[in-house]
């Protein structure tokens, strides 16, 4: 099945000054995307911007699907003006997505800023397993999806850098506190391993810290990386990262990698 398709915009809703939620209807049947997979999206049929841009699956609506995006540059500032009925060219779903863990392990989800875009998709798909979600952002206005998470029965632990919502500080510090308590109250240190799987997406420094944390607590962790991409389909090598298994393409072998594999 070709992964190239066109979608019509159903809705393009402004959530905050810089964040939008776009709902798309594919004009042909596409493969059901997995949480953690992404789409390459062309915001214009002209030459500028020339390249498609990658966006994670945010929500699958059984045919229609949603992307959550932040306006940061040329393409996203064009995308925000797309209205119902406009048609966008896309490729996807691409990449590997988050792997499912054993059904008995607890699930810890960690999202930094816009990392909630793919993490929400995963949260929704595993909501019956009562995942714990740790959500960090710079400030209150960048804390997204709280109501939607609550409707899934998930009450995220929130931190903001400036303390405007939740606890002031880094979400990874809260995660460390949580894991330290789990280790010292329930299990010998280092034996949290079989109890939880951790899945994370966010800015690079947060993901680097997640690698350190999963190593320290001997947890199995998976990180969704967001490297700059030109082709999105494995051809241009613009998205390679260094791993314990050599260079890998984020668009093809990723974007989700075992935390211990990434060499930062």
For residue 19, the minimal CB distance to ligand FAD (Å) is 8
Site for ligand FES in 191-250 (CB under 6 A): 229-232, 234-239, 249
Alpha helices (H) along the chain? 74-79, 116-125, 146-151, 171-186, 204-216
Task: Return all residues near 173 (Cβ < 8 A) that are at least 6 apart.
Answer: 159
Q: Give the interface with ligand FAD as residue ranges (CB under 6 A).
A: 38, 49, 53-56, 67-70, 72-76, 114, 117, 226-229, 255
Task: Return all residues near 199 (Cβ < 8 A) that are at least 6 apart.
Answer: 36, 98, 107, 108, 109, 110, 119, 122, 221, 222, 224
Q: Which does 68 bind (CB under 5 to 8 A by kind): ligand FES, ligand FAD, none?
A: ligand FAD
Pick between residue 82 and residue 249 the one whose CB is nearest to ligand FES.
249
Q: Which does 166 bind (CB under 5 to 8 A by kind): ligand FES, ligand FAD, none?
A: none
- Any contact of residue 92 with ligand FES (CB under 6 A)? no
Q: Contact 256/243 with Cβ under 8 angstroms?
A: no
Beta strand ranges found along 57-152 (DSSP E): 59-60, 65-70, 87-94, 106-112, 132-137
CB atoms within 10 A of CB 36: 25
Q: Which does 231 bind (CB under 5 to 8 A by kind): ligand FAD, ligand FES, none?
A: ligand FES
Instruction: Report d(CA 234, CA 30) in Å as an integer.
Output: 20
Q: Which does 21 bind (CB under 5 to 8 A by kind): ligand FAD, ligand FES, none?
A: none
For residue 249, the minimal CB distance to ligand FES (Å) is 4
Residues within the interface to ligand FES (CB under 6 A): 229-232, 234-239, 249, 251
């Amino acid at each position: 099945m070709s992964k190239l398709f066109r979608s019509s915009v159903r809705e393009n809703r402004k959530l905050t000054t810089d964040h939008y939620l776009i709902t798309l209807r594919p004009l042909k049947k596409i493969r059901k995307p997995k949480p953690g997979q992404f789409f390459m999206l062309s915001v214009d049929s002209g030459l500028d911007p020339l390249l498609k841009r990658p966006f994670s699956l945010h929500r699958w609506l059984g045919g229609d699907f949603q992307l959550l995006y932040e306006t940061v540059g040329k393409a996203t500032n064009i995308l925000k003006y797309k209205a119902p009925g406009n048609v966008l060219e896309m490729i996807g779903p691409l990449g590997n997505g988050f792997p499912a863990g054993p059904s008995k392990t607890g699930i810890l989800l960690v999202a930094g800023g816009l990392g909630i875009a793919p993490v929400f998709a995963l949260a929704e798909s595993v909501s019956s397993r009562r995942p714990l979600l740790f959500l960090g952002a710079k400030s209150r206005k960048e804390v997204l999806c709280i109501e939607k998470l609550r409707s899934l029965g998930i009450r995220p632990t929130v931190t903001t850098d400036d303390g405007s919502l939740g606890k002031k500080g880094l979400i990874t510090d809260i995660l460390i506190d949580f894991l330290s308590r789990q280790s010292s109250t329930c299990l010998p240190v280092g034996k949290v391993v079989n109890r939880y799987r951790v899945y994370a997406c966010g800015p690079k420094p947060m993901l680097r810290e997640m690698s350190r944390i999963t190593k320290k607590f001997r947890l199995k962790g998976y990180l969704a990386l967001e490297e700059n991409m030109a082709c999105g389909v494995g051809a241009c090598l613009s998205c390679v990262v260094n791993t314990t298994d050599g260079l890998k393409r984020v668009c093809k072998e990723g974007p989700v990698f075992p935390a211990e594999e990434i060499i930062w």
